[in-house]
Structure 1
């Protein structure tokens, strides 16, 4: 590995990272000296718990792996950032706090007894909302909630469910807090980001444009994995939160009058959240069709997305949305709605969902039938600078002309702008957990 470093000048400094905190330290060939620096700058981790990790080397295959003292001298010249994490030798050796648990949860004594089982252990990595990565060597017997209590100070005890997504591109899974860990498929070295909530589809708005005033029925039907959470104008929601119908009258200025309430609105609005009851109690994932959009399993890859700095997203989005058929007001509303979510990140990976796949997830039935329907749904997620090397193709793709999105989404911009036609336009999006 050292031979590879001779081709470029090696920085005299190294970045140590723990959670959101980063510290530049001197690049030391002595493992113990770097350990001293880590303990100095991250005093919350005791010396005997400190573990160094990286996913930057090719041999890591994208996984975070421990950097041992034996390999430190060989690896240090190839690294720019080193994750400082807390080693967990055994959960059962750490006393649990005296807390109130949800109904049917075993207490700490039962927890420790379960961890003494010889059913086998598995070592996983948990990535928390703060960005901190912790290694957890766990028994397969205890329930998820008690395992998270040990590793997550702010675990919400009353929610009873958590979103764990797999960092390696496999399906995420809703993991229920009162189920045994052994009921989920977890293998050694699996890495899971932990969230209190899963992804939401936000701000889909539906515009209706007709050359003359007409009465229109708009029916929205969602797949079981989604439930409607917010709608406007408010109408009855049926089929366990998966279906609604608006009846409106169009006007030539683009506004709508909803018949039940008499409200005059610019568009129809809906949002949806994950329907936790629809998911199986296992993390085993089924193969996804290429032309499939599912709120729990859809993500972004180097092969289908673009990656750009967050401060350049607005210009890129305006160009892309324009070629996809969004008029000025729709583009402005789209960008200003998502901008606060985007600017929280250094870099953004984004892609637009194929319209046919989106339709199978959120079916839209409109009567009388429109001449053209344009539905634009964006998926995006934040990318850290140290992970940009994994997105080389997506970064190059961002330099291309944006016209290629027209074929990806499957829209007809010319007909979408023809004022002589009855046209429907919808836009929305979803931030994918990192």
Structure 2
């Protein structure tokens, strides 16, 4: 990438500065607003790269001559002098020196001088949003978990809390970890890939093997029909079914007749997201444990318009009437809890790396549709200008994003497989 000369900074200031900006970390690239405020850019980076603790996040650039071709930290005090002269930033994780926690035996034995001492803590959610709270050092960590659960409307048992990368025990006191006033604690939430279902259609009756292998970031939480669960660098299952021309299936081990194969998975937030540096960034990266939606890859729409938008989008993605109806009615209760919804469909190749599907004999066409969505409050709509505009555009674009061959997907003379599923990204 051509270097931007420091001498040209003043001259460049009279030119029109792009409103958008690129953030990069590992294999992931996202387009964000060009914020003149360091704090706002940090907030945006935390939303898009939630696996990096806020206090460990650093921006770097090599685009100025003064960098001499090396990545150099951009500090808050130099932010306003640099931001208009560069086009992107590397988001890196700084190694933190971890304060030594007190031994677990100190859970109850808090020094008397600390029992009533209060500290102010920043509780950072997966979305990058921050809740500030004052609490006593003698309070248990679980009290903070319950507080975040109430504020976010999610079950507290799904939350995990870390401090400087250390997983905290809910039964221990805050003071037993030497947590200081002003420290930040980070919350992760186990998320559920809700009701992916697999339809198998063949022009004549045939025996079919359907194998599904999950990345280590996921574990099966439900399967139907029930089959043996195996473990080998990720959980995997295999259904052996007999297809019928009416679209129904017979699971051969149990003899059950079903309309489709069902699976559900929960995220393993302790697993490290897979993003191999050796892989070329040819497709979107989908990580179950750190799924994101951004202004440039999603649409934002009011809840009262969601059902029509989804029906049109799913039709453009090759889902038949029953599949569209099942999809929408399954997610509708979760959607109706919000004012606005941000949603996007994951490219099939990216989804395949998280949930690999192997079918024998090989189908003529496989269509896998997986949606990510999250609630957006009215006061945060200003952060989603492009996503709101994209909601007004032709939904047919999702077929290109996902990679759907609509003509072949609807050809009843072919051996076809259709899967739909989704996940609400909790904050």
Taking the aligned partners of 2:407 and 2:419, their CA distance within structure 1 comes to: 16
Gaps of 5+ in 2: 1-34, 45-103
Q: Structure 1 length normalisation: TM-score?
A: 0.63
Taking the aligned partners of 1:251 and 1:380, their CA distance within structure 2 comes to: 34
Residue of 126, 132, 135 corresponding to 2:133: 135
SS of 1:249 mapped into structure 2: strand
Taking the aligned partners of 2:147 and 2:321, their CA distance within structure 1 comes to: 47
The residue that corresponds to 2:107 in the other structure is 107
The residue that corresponds to 2:199 in the other structure is 207
Alignment of 1:240-319 (within 5 A): 242-276=235-269, 278-279=271-272, 291-319=284-312
Q: Flag the 1:153–1:334 CA change in 2: closer, same or farther, 3 A.
A: closer
Q: Flag the 1:421–1:362 CA change in 2: closer, same or farther, 3 A.
A: same
1:163 touches 1:173 (CA, 8 Å); kept in 2? no
1:162 touches 1:176 (CA, 8 Å); kept in 2? no
1:123-181: CA deviations, max 9, x gaps? Answer: 5245699x993335899xx99826727966979xxx88724699xxxxx9976547999
1:404 equivalent in alignment to 2:401:
no
Q: Flag the 1:191–1:390 CA change in 2: closer, same or farther, 3 A.
A: farther
Alignment of 1:20-419 (within 5 A): 59=37, 61=40, 106-110=106-110, 123-125=121-123, 133-135=131-133, 145=141, 148=144, 162-163=159-160, 177=170, 194=187, 197-239=189-231, 242-276=235-269, 278-279=271-272, 291-419=284-412
Taking the aligned partners of 1:153 and 1:366, their CA distance within structure 2 comes to: 40
CA RMSD after TM alignment: 4.3
Residue 394 of structure 1: CA displacement?
0.3
Residue 278 of structure 1: CA displacement?
3.1
1:143 touches 1:178 (CA, 8 Å); kept in 2? no
1:160 touches 1:177 (CA, 8 Å); kept in 2? no
1:161 touches 1:177 (CA, 8 Å); kept in 2? no
Taking the aligned partners of 2:181 and 2:384, their CA distance within structure 1 comes to: 26
Taking the aligned partners of 1:310 and 1:165, their CA distance within structure 2 comes to: 33
Taking the aligned partners of 1:301 and 1:188, their CA distance within structure 2 comes to: 29
Q: Flag the 1:418–1:179 CA change in 2: closer, same or farther, 3 A.
A: farther
Residue 105 of structure 1: CA displacement?
6.7
Taking the aligned partners of 2:286 and 2:126, their CA distance within structure 1 comes to: 26
1:100-119: CA deviations, max 9, x gaps? Answer: xxxx57434337788999xx
Taking the aligned partners of 1:377 and 1:186, their CA distance within structure 2 comes to: 42
Q: Flag the 1:317–1:152 CA change in 2: closer, same or farther, 3 A.
A: closer
The residue that corresponds to 2:63 in the other structure is none
Q: Flag the 1:230–1:186 CA change in 2: closer, same or farther, 3 A.
A: farther
Taking the aligned partners of 1:323 and 1:405, their CA distance within structure 2 comes to: 7
The residue that corresponds to 1:428 in the other structure is 421
Q: Flag the 1:111–1:331 CA change in 2: closer, same or farther, 3 A.
A: farther
Taking the aligned partners of 1:146 and 1:106, their CA distance within structure 2 comes to: 16
SS of 1:332 mapped into structure 2: helix
Gaps of 5+ in 1: 1-56, 65-103, 167-171
Q: Flag the 1:305–1:147 CA change in 2: closer, same or farther, 3 A.
A: same
